Amino acid sequence: MPDNIQSFKVVSVGGLNATQNHLQLSEDAPGVATRLVNYEPSLFGGYRRIDGFTNYGNDETVGGADAEGKVLGLEIFFNENTDASEVIAARKDRVYTFTVTSAAQSNYTGSDDNGRTLTITNPTNLVVRVNGTVQSSSAYSVIGNTVSFSTAPVLDDVVTIDNQQYSFYRATLAGSWSKYNTGLIHNTATTSADREVKRLRAAKYNFGTGGKICFVDGVNNAVVFDGLNWVYLDPTNTGGSSSPGGLNAPARPEVVNAFEGYLFLGGDQVDADAVAFSDTQNDLNFDPATNSDVLRVGFDVVQLAPFRKDLFIFVATRLRRRLKIMTLCSLLSQLQLTWVVLPETASLKLVVTLPF
């Protein structure tokens, strides 16, 4: 039995530190944790054990039997039209599966193996597979909600028909999920298959005409929801409420934020160093004839984050130097862009300061 026992109190402060020597931490910072499982930051400082989680609603999955895969995005949005908060989630539409039970079958329509009625909602981006192999568009034709093969799949072949799109859902008071009828097609991948939706990002804002939320995914145009209507910010449109978008709007933005009355979009992999902003107090207008413009930051944009009077533009680079540049824009003649090195990661961020 040990005969020299000492006890002392250790306050759980300092968070997780898995990089420094444990002996040094025990001497200099005894409250720091070196390994944590099921812990979270405490409201009173330090860290604490997580009480636990429970499924939202009645344990129903988003989209139910009509959806598959992970939840692509989840946001809480206050809808001023209903004067209530809405939980909005997005998830990929489930593929239709048909197993051939006859000697050969050319036409596929009606109920699939899961009792779901085949509905072709995205014919331009449709992907058809036989036993997992993608079929060329010349191997089949689509008429209405029927897919017909020129060479019929045979007994026990598995045919899958994928609209390659996702849907938005709203949590109901009953604890289930109700699908939004957005009137838009939300592709999960580009037609060339060079990009696919990994996650959705969103920004909530109010420019004086009511609360809105803008979603981006890196594949489609940015989409704006005002509580009633869903619209794309299409770069082929002319801008404004009747033709949302404009030439400055990126076609496939991946990051979004609202800042000082402007909607900022960036991260389009086709134009990776561009950050576009809307007209003043008009998120639906990216027409270059207005106050909308495009910033060229010189590096791939990976995130936008406003803080007080600055907008931080995070870019992908390991550059170890400081830069200061001045950009003249149609609206912001004194817009100041300042490069700042983050010493902890040796990465770079761009600080945008508006002249008001």
pLDDT (tens, 9 = 90+) of the chain, 356 residues, equals 566 777 777 777 777 777 777 777 777 777 787 777 887 777 777 778 888 777 777 767 899 999 999 999 999 999 998 899 999 999 999 999 999 999 999 999 999 999 999 999 999 999 999 999 999 999 999 999 999 999 999 999 999 999 999 999 999 877 889 999 999 999 999 888 789 999 999 999 999 989 999 999 999 999 999 999 999 999 999 999 999 999 999 999 999 999 889 999 999 999 998 999 999 999 999 999 999 999 888 888 888 888 777 788 887 764 433 333 323 233 344 445 555 544 444 444 555 554 44
Positions of E strands within 230-353: 230-233, 255-259, 262-266, 274-277, 293-296, 300-307, 310-316, 324-326, 336-342, 347-353
Cα 96 from Cα 111, distance rounded (Å): 9
Token match 């992907």: residue? 127
Total-model pTM: 0.79
What are the φ/ψ torsions at residue 340 (nearest 5 degrees)?
A: -135, 130
Neighbours of 220 (CB within 10 A): 25
Q: How many CA atoms lie within 13 A of 326 on its CB side?
A: 4
pLDDT in tens, 44-80: 777 788 887 777 777 678 999 999 999 999 999 999 9
* CB-facing half-sphere around the CA of 281: CA atoms within 13 A: 4
Whether the CB-CB separation of 91 and 177 falls below 8 Å is answered with no
